[in-house]
Structure 1
């Protein structure tokens, strides 16, 4: 019965994981448990209420007993926490008061972005944070720039005019130790770890994203099609995040706007098996970093396309030819003037 007690009540990971019911014979539960122990990456998940936000949002932002604070224009309703309304020049945030000391975790975000704007006439988006500093306003989706920690951005408006290969809305992630700035003019491309297109605006069904951090591996999955299926968005290894940071979410609107709503933030502690070698490698870290940090720097200097290189070479040659013609004319005039002086 002890095994059944462990398995019963585990959460439904949407279409990939189903509920275990007490009616299932205990023998089957034992078999399932024994089968699961054979996997090196087997995890058990436990909801951490002190880091979770869900209905009915009792006391959020107003009660001393609440573990969540509101900032800026954020407000609470019975159905959602609205970070920003569909109005210009608004910003808001919700932040957890309790620092997270979990080694491995998963944050499931249930959110909704909607408004009157059509196509690209909407903005600007929202961010999910695991950051050292909380409750600070700023230009990065309503929070501070040069942050320390992890930022996951749901960007709904393309600021870079020559955006061709990327379709918005777009989800991306960034890890910063405080020295990196978010480049709005390029939609964060110079410092992003990766991302994916996610058509999350004005959907009639629920939209979700999951941020999972296990064994220095950061993965993001999305469920935005109403099919209750997770799709991969980002997978990066060698990500090092210190413990003791805060979870939060923020949003901002400018000349363009949207409603940015958080319906729930649910954090799960993941109990992961580690070998002695993995334990040695997973030492405590104090500064956020990514093993392949050159990756972010290289993004700022993306290779030129063949057409761009052709244009540069073509116009360079054109300038050289033009300069040569001018020099030839000047030299001819100079020779003619010298000849007249001679006679």
Structure 2
């Protein structure tokens, strides 16, 4: 019985997910299972519990979710089934944009929108969206002086269109060039961190592992709808590429004691990012319970053995 109780405690501890804090010990995080997606992606019924996908999307359970293959006129999407309602969150996405052609396009997008799974002309998603779009644009239409691939954010109000002819220049919230993000030699990732009314930060990893490049950061974040769906989409036209989602790690962020995070406004500037220290009070709390249970269980087993030996001695 005691062993079963300890197993239950262990499962409860791991179900909460990792708890992290920053270098100042303020920000902590709990894994959002409803928006995290990792291999093998699908269950025994060949469905995902938390995500839907459609159009030309292909799922390789041992490798990737391919939104578009390296073929013309492809369109694919991947969207969460339940909305993301956390006030503060961090989303880390490993992806891969690659192909064999010297001319390639068009790119893919990450969405936090009221709409979900709606096909359209904006990197495979419907135009006039409401929410936040992060575009990894690999094909340059008309943006003089800008190096591509280019990563940019657009805040949609449900009425404003994305202008493909100038690569969204007139509706850009913030962005940065990311030369080398396509056909990179390391796992490419993006990390989007949001604190409501406090900050929005986008970081990219494509030069070397654990070397996060700051794409943009602002202390005046856009107003993102309180109920949004997390999604991804991609499209190809005459030019094409493989657009793969490898994993999604979603976390709910919170600050004990009502402290606020510190961030510096900027656009396209880079600064070194310190790796987060792992470990937290909840994890240590559960481990103390487990250790206590082991001690109690061991004492019980020892006491039972002692009583049995006493009975045998008394009998003879």
Same fold (TM over 0.5): yes
Could you tell me how far 1:227 is from its partner in structure 2? Answer: 3.4
Q: 1:83-138: CA deviations, max 9, x gaps?
A: 000000000011100111100001101000000122xx100000000010101100
Query: What is aligned with 1:43?
Result: 27
For the pair 1:99 / 2:80, whether they are aligned, the reply is no
Structure 1 or 2: more helix by fraction: 1
Unaligned 5+ segments in structure 2 are 1-12, 261-316
Structure 1 residues 81-160: aligned runs within 5 Å: 81-118=65-102, 121-160=103-142
**Equivalent position of 2:152 in the other structure:** 172
The TM-score with structure 2 as length reference comes to 0.72
Q: Does 1:188 align with 2:168?
A: yes
Query: Corresponding residue for 2:275?
Result: none
1:265 maps to 248
Gaps of 5+ in 1: 18-31, 37-41, 279-343
- Please report the RMSD computed on the Cα atoms of aligned residues, expressed in angstroms: 2.5
Tell me which of 182, 187, 207 is aligned to 1:206.
Answer: 187
Q: Distance in 1 between matches of 2:257 and 2:200?
A: 17
Between 1:219-228 and 1:250-259, the stretch displaced more is 219-228
The separation in 1 between residues aligned to 2:150 and 2:64, in whole angstroms, is 23
Q: What is the Cα deviation at residue 188 of structure 1?
A: 0.5
The structure whose Rg is larger is: 1
**How high is the TM-score relative to the length of structure 1?**
0.66
Is contact 2:203–2:215 with CA below 8 Å preserved after alignment?
yes
Q: Aligned in 2, Cα 1:150/1:82: closer, same or farther, shift over 3 Å?
A: same
After the TM superposition, which of the residue ranges 170-179 and 231-240 deviates more from structure 2? 231-240
What SS is found at the alignment partner of 1:139?
strand
Q: Secondary structure at the match of 1:182?
A: coil
CA-CA distance at 1:242 after TM superposition: 2.0
For these two proteins, the number of residue pairs brought into alignment is 243
**Pick from 27, 34, 41: which aligns with 1:57?**
41
Structure 2 partner of 1:245? 228
Aligned to 2:73, what secondary structure does the other structure show? coil
